[in-house]
Chain A
């Protein structure tokens, strides 16, 4: 089996089978972490470009390592986030990269749909590394991988996503992936940070975190940005933390073995306390490691790979 599209723009577009394929392919990719020499010849001769219009450390580095460990030639392009980047130059850039021989373009952009603009005008594979408030599919995939790694399954789990759902592309990709694989998802945050119509994506909405956490198997905590407070979406960081900050005491409501996740970077003491982030239940570091494995799997599949025996060998 192979992926249907040349691009990965969102988990909404992927079938259950495709998601399963990516997660299965990521397993042998992860084994490479335990090796002394972290190098596979799979993408030798292929060129991958990381085109980042927004600052990013972990996602960009993760893609870069994934590409390098698969023996691709990797180039990073960082564009000043402050400059308004018009579509023509975005398209120009994409076409230029293709003319330079790029086989895979990884793009992060502050505007939803920017990866779609590029995907339509190049033959290269385009991977969305986060576009505005739309999706962050590789984050969604690595979260699925991490949950399944620890819980053995996704179906039937109760997953709570806490925080700024309105602005979160991570939440969107998680919701699509989790609901497709059969999890029960609850989103929790103040009404001002819950987008209209989110129930239609197949989730429950709960404003009270203490209620949302009941019987939770997984608690995924999103970063809260100070600029949202300045826009009047909640009164103060202090009040936000009081209502939605996850600490050890509050976490007792969830199941004793509930996983603690955070896409990072975490603001310790605001949406999550340091002791919770560093607790035995926290898989925050593992998410980072798994991110490389999942991205390796995706690069492999988009480069025409089918069965994952090539990687395991």
Chain B
């Protein structure tokens, strides 16, 4: 069985491709990229052989290497009422992602080889896209003792994080970085000084004052970003700062990169789109951690993405049930879903807003995450021999977000009703069309 993706504008910035080309796929691998490819195979003797071919007409569309969301909460095991590996990966496919990295704050957490293997086994059976687990930094995500990192590595984790919780003890973080270094795994900290944010539910500033909600200061993030950069400098570990939300953090990362620290970063679509003004009305779908910040921070993140200070876009997809979110603001859990709005928001706000070219966007959503997570050997882009993971994008498609159409089990998005331009048209994983609009 072959698959021919025909007539799309193929953009692979790493291979230097931006042209109308065909892509021929066989046995899950790209076998040929070029103009006017005949789906029929050439034998070694040069004669054509009849084989079954599925053709995907990509004319008028953009074809990119399969996008990667490096920060997703799949909730399985433990909270299958919020999301499962099956529904979360279906949402990823609908959002144009062919690979996702899932965070370890499940129940039980991914702090042992066995729990990581269980998620991978489940994903192999029920997953629609590739799932790469991130392992815990510390046992039980408690921030005290290191998890068995060697075993986690052998079980296939692509990074280490206690996401959702901050490793508050600097000594523990220092040892985690030193230890992770021998496995060349990135440390992906959730940067929050929880003494500074205790009880907080939104950004601290004018809006928290007006709304009477307890604020979370930007400096709570920035002191930890600064600390972890300093520790990375000391230990030589690879540090990846996830969900950067403040102008101060962007500047700290920019300065560190200039000094040659091994630091990378990602930001979420909600942090480059919305401000804390959205909290007006107390819609709990505007409650996430880190919280929505101010116009100045949004602009700094956009500029950080534009100049490469921020390497990647990641959704921090955090599903919660309607009942959990349908409460007073203080009582609602943090987090919003993002897999199915991430690419449209990036296209609308960043490409449409003139911050990123399509080629640069592809770097932020494919090759940079792939490099950070050590996936570049397999997810090598649109070249012969690479895994046939492709995203086909209709950049002209205008639509209004309808949360009831989400494949995710949860609908906790602040973007319902928002008009966006550009979305995934089809998603191909390992040579199989797993989603088509």
Contact = CB atoms under 8 A, between A and B. Distances in A.
A135 interface: yes
Nearest to A199: B206
Contacts of B368: none
B206 A113 contact: no
Given A114-B328, A116-B281, A117-B282, A195 B209 contact: yes
Interface in B303-352: 323, 326-332
B338 to A, nearest CB: 23
B111 interface: no
Contact of A169 (B204, B212, B328): B212
A198 B331 CA distance: 25
B374 interface: no
Interface in B266-288: 281-282
Contact of A196 (B215, B330, B331): B215
Contact of B212 (A90, A133, A196): A133
Interface centre among B206, B326, B328, B331 (most CB of A within 10 A): B328
Nearest to B325: A87
A196 B208 contact: yes
Contact of A113 (B205, B215, B329): B329
A197 B213 contact: no
A197 B206 contact: yes
Interface in A1-58: 12
A197 B327 contact: no
A178 B89 CA distance: 54
A112 B215 contact: no
Contact of A131 (B210, B212, B214): B212
Nearest to B332: A87
A113 B209 contact: no
B330 A111 contact: yes
Contacts of B205: 196-197
Interface in B196-216: 204-215
A131 B212 CA distance: 8
Contacts of A295: none
A200 interface: yes
Interface size class, chain A: 20 to 34
Given A112-B329, A113-B328, A196-B215, A88 B208 contact: no
A113 B326 contact: no
Contact of A135 (B212, B281, B326, B327): B212
B331 A87 contact: yes
Contacts of B214: 133
Interface string B208-227: 11111111010000000000
Given A88-B323, A197-B206, A200-B206, A113 B331 contact: no
Contacts of B281: 116
B204 A112 contact: no
Contacts of A195: 208-209, 215
A201 B210 contact: yes
A225 to B, nearest CB: 15
Interface in B174-190: none
Contacts of A249: none
B282 A196 contact: no
A112 B206 contact: no
Interface string A97-121: 0000000000001011110110000
A133 B331 contact: no
Interface in A120-144: 131-135
A226 interface: no
A84 interface: yes
A158 interface: no
A116 B326 contact: no
Given A87-B326, A112-B330, A132 B210 contact: no
Contact of A117 (B210, B215, B328): B328
B282 A116 contact: yes
A95 interface: no
Nearest to A131: B212
Given A113-B282, A116-B281, A116-B282, A197 B209 contact: yes
Nearest to B330: A111
Nearest to B215: A196
Interface centre among A87, A88, A90, A201 (most CB of B within 10 A): A87
B371 to A, nearest CB: 38
Interface in A245-293: none
A163 B215 CA distance: 19
A262 B206 CA distance: 25
Interface string A183-220: 00000000000011110110000000000000000000
A150 interface: no
A132 B329 CA distance: 11
A51 to B, nearest CB: 14
A30 to B, nearest CB: 29
Nearest to A168: B212
Contact of B213 (A12, A88, A133): A133
B211 A112 contact: yes
A113 B327 contact: no
Interface centre among B207, B209, B217, B327 (most CB of A within 10 A): B209
A243 to B, nearest CB: 22
A133 B214 CA distance: 8
A86 interface: yes
A93 B212 CA distance: 23
A193 to B, nearest CB: 12
A133 B210 CA distance: 9
Lowest 8 A-B CB distances belong to which pairs?
A: A87-B327, A134-B212, A197-B206, A113-B282, A133-B212, A112-B212, A195-B209, A111-B328
Given A84-B331, A90-B327, A111-B330, 18 more contacts: A86-B328, A87-B328, A87-B331, A87-B332, A91-B326, A109-B328, A112-B213, A112-B330, A113-B330, A117-B282, A134-B212, A135-B212, A172-B210, A196-B217, A197-B206, A197-B207, A197-B208, A201-B210
28 contacts: A12-B210, A84-B331, A87-B326, A87-B331, A87-B332, A88-B326, A111-B328, A111-B330, A111-B331, A112-B212, A112-B282, A113-B211, A113-B212, A113-B328, A113-B329, A116-B281, A117-B328, A132-B330, A134-B212, A172-B210, A172-B212, A195-B208, A196-B217, A197-B209, A197-B210, A200-B206, A201-B209, A201-B210
Interface of B: 204-215, 217, 281-282, 323, 326-332
